[in-house]
Structure 1
């Protein structure tokens, strides 16, 4: 990871988990096509979290998954507001999610790991623990000089979120597929022009 931005290991993981969850469950557009929330929310939630935290292997129940998806949709709306230049609106919504989910910084040691910071009470319910962690991770980015690295994909018909952790800070797409779609369209436009 030399040269990449890393806010700290735990906040980076929960921020990446928030983005993965938002991108995998928030309705809207993805890679040029309409996108609906998956029917099997517990599986989609588990896969999104596991994509950034390989140690994760729990499957939430349907009610907890639906609750977390609701918060993920709200966090996605905050990033959309940020991308549109409404930093205040984004921060207000992230603060609301942190407050409603009961965000509470707590040093914790479990599973043979050293002490590390969690963003929820030790006894927080499952969805609240993830929502407060994800919102706090995003709050760290929003309150950081690197806030311009957080945004919505620049590809047409895609509203998935990204966080640029590269050295040069030039990422503007949610994935390589969207970046390639834009480059291919620009190439075709040049060839026909």
Structure 2
């Protein structure tokens, strides 16, 4: 594994958040119930108000995080990360809770959810920059999909997102060979 467990989780969570804006079914983060489901699914802790303003703030964060996957250089990614950290008022602290062991939180648990999401993603992206692994931030290789993914495979071979694009394309190729 290239990254610490908390970095791995934060990167996958950031990708999942970005991908809520672009799915085959449209935007999947349109209601406060959907935000609460996302919060629970990805194991967030701390304050959540569950109101429309919080939903709007989280939705507005998605294109800013997507920019990490569009960065064409380490310098560009570092500039984005520094902006996210500065604007998120990051103040790293070493903490332990649940089953994570010692790890870093850079915002208080009562900070707004969107701010915590922003800083959590930025802290994970710090590790991406530090170890020179920007190439692990990818866009799905399916022609009809622009979801983002984090390739955490040992051999850097992951090409498709979590929405089943790899299986869909493999099935289409099989049908084409069989019928061809």
TM-score, reference length from structure 2: 0.79
Greater share of strand? 1
The aligned residue for residue 137 of structure 2 is 150
Alignment match, 1:17: 13
Aligned pairs (5 A) from 1:1-193? 5=1, 7-24=3-20, 26=21, 28=22, 30=23, 33=24, 35-40=26-31, 42-53=32-43, 60-79=50-69, 81-82=70-71, 85-109=72-96, 115-121=102-108, 124-175=111-162, 177-188=164-175, 190=177
Q: 3-state DSSP class of the match of 1:104?
A: coil
Name the SS of the counterpart of 2:10 in structure 1.
helix
TM-score between both structures, scaled by the size of structure 1:
0.74
| Higher mean displacement: 62-71 or 86-95 | 86-95
For residue 191 of structure 1, report the CA deviation from its aligned partner: 5.8
Distance 1:162 1:103 in 2: 25
Alignment CA distance shift 1:181-1:87 (3 Å): farther
SS of residue paired to 1:173? coil
Mapped to 1, the partners of 2:43 and 2:74 lie a distance apart of 28
Q: After TM superposition, give the deviation of residue 146 of structure 1 in Å.
A: 3.0
CA deviation profile, 1:101-137 (whole Å, cap 9, x unmatched): 1122112345697553212246533321221112211
Q: Matches of 1:54 and 1:108 in 2, distance apart?
A: 15
Gaps of 5+ in 2: none
Decide which moves more: 147-156 or 123-132.
Answer: 123-132
Task: State the number of aligned residues.
Answer: 180
Structure 1 spans left out of the alignment, 5+ residues: none
Hey, what's the Cα distance between the residues in 2 that align with 1:114 and 1:190? Answer: 50
CA distance in structure 1 between the partners assigned to 2:98 and 2:164 by the alignment: 37
